[in-house]
A and B are shown apart, each in its own frame.
Chain A
């Protein structure tokens, strides 16, 4: 069975309001790295909250490791398994000192002191913030605060972390740090990562991309598949990564180039081969 499974999920914030999420069926496998793309107001943040049980669907159901998020008795178990990192780094730090903040989740779980200590040290090491353990949280940069928020989640040792536009309020350096941390969590610790974003360059790093529009999933596939369909993405006002767009424009100009090129180096290789062939031919 999949780790997260959504069956016919619908959601509206109040009964007389329009549905934000419309009939979504979705399976997310354990250990996968999924990016959810969509422009503002397409319901992707709502979906994120549904996927980790903060919100409960008005129709349909969401199962996390077999437990229904609507089941109040299982909510603690679900919370423990599925964490979330929010957009605003300031609004999710609870304590004034870094290590005390990271310790918040294990403290809530009622773990013994030595275990809390061990988890806090390990989590800070994973996000490279060990030297800041005793620092005041408000003096850190945005990227550092967000790394502390990730460490706070790791200390809970969840199986899945949902990132709700965790990079949207950061500068480019901070964004890189967080994307690197996500990759590390996924590949080294085997945590299932679901990242909600509208930065294409971040989505490229995932194994799978889900594109949303008006509360519905309109595309689901590997980055290569998704970014091959440039027109379709543009029709829901999403851009493709710059390199992909360059290749697309060249192709539109009548050059026989492949679609779905995602990285600059890959594009350079393709173009080099293409030019050599053109010379020889």
Chain B
């Protein structure tokens, strides 16, 4: 039932993205999200696609893994594309008009843009963060980036600690859920048939033991952490230091340039670019 969870799956490696400072990667991620969501004109979309392709290329993540990560989203992607295709009301003559279905050329454009945008979002964030950053690096980076908030008494360290523990316990809790499911099946519980409401009800005997055991685990973990002198973030040191190298800043700068380029490209119409090119040559 819970076999193919790829969430937050880290693929150890030594690519450019693996070696990039996780703090820089977080900043690049923010820029990346902005540029993908902002890209509206064709040129801007092309730039954002090219940047996504670049990220995938330097991540060293294998194509098979990428395809696997997109697979569970096929339904969502198809659904978005179809909605955009049929429900965009554009100007001028529709391309197809057949009984209640009308497709405008702007609908096709919207569908393609949306599809590409979603695909870029999923692949780009995956290669930038989840596939190439270990959970601990990620939480360390978040802690470092949010540390100015400590000044206004935001519990940044506690937040980062909670996140890293949550990530640490995902596989443990998945294993536990599978065990409980097996145990309930052995007692003739039926999770696969019945109406939707019945199926939801059938989940209760899984969730209750899972919650009870999670609370118990939490108590024991708290004891174990205290036993190891955990006293909050104050005065803590780290085994691994985050070091940013000059190449990291080059990378960040490049991402910033691309983002600015996308903003500029949005302003230009394709025809204007053509005239611009003609003027130059």
Contact = CB atoms under 8 A, between A and B. Distances in A.
Contact of A95 (B12, B168, B172, B226): B168
B220 A88 contact: yes
A217 interface: no
Contact of A92 (B135, B164, B171, B224): B224
Contact of A54 (B175, B217, B226, B240): B226
Contact of B231 (A108, A113, A138): A108
Interface stretch (A32-40, A78-86, A228-236, A270-278): A78-86
A196 interface: no
A86 B225 CA distance: 11
B136 interface: yes
B239 A117 contact: yes
Contact of B172 (A80, A90, A116): A90
A86 B223 contact: yes
B241 A113 contact: yes
Contacts of B241: 113
A52 to B, nearest CB: 7
Q: How large is the interface on A (under 10, 10 to 19, 20 to 34, 35 or more residues)?
A: 35 or more
Interface string B158-171: 00000011011001
A193 to B, nearest CB: 15
Contacts, number: 97
B233 to A, nearest CB: 10
A91 B224 contact: yes
5 contacts: A52-B227, A76-B231, A88-B217, A94-B221, A97-B134
Interface of B: 12, 134-136, 164-165, 167-168, 171-172, 175, 217, 220-221, 223-231, 235-241
Interface of A: 49, 52, 54, 76, 79-80, 83-84, 86, 88, 90-97, 99-100, 103-113, 116-117, 120, 134, 136-138, 149, 152-153, 156
Given A96-B164, A97-B134, A108-B229, 17 more contacts: A52-B227, A76-B231, A94-B168, A95-B168, A96-B134, A96-B168, A97-B136, A100-B240, A106-B239, A107-B238, A108-B228, A108-B231, A110-B236, A117-B239, A136-B171, A152-B228, A153-B227
Closest A-B pairs by Cβ, 7 of them: A92-B224, A103-B239, A105-B228, A91-B220, A138-B171, A110-B235, A108-B229
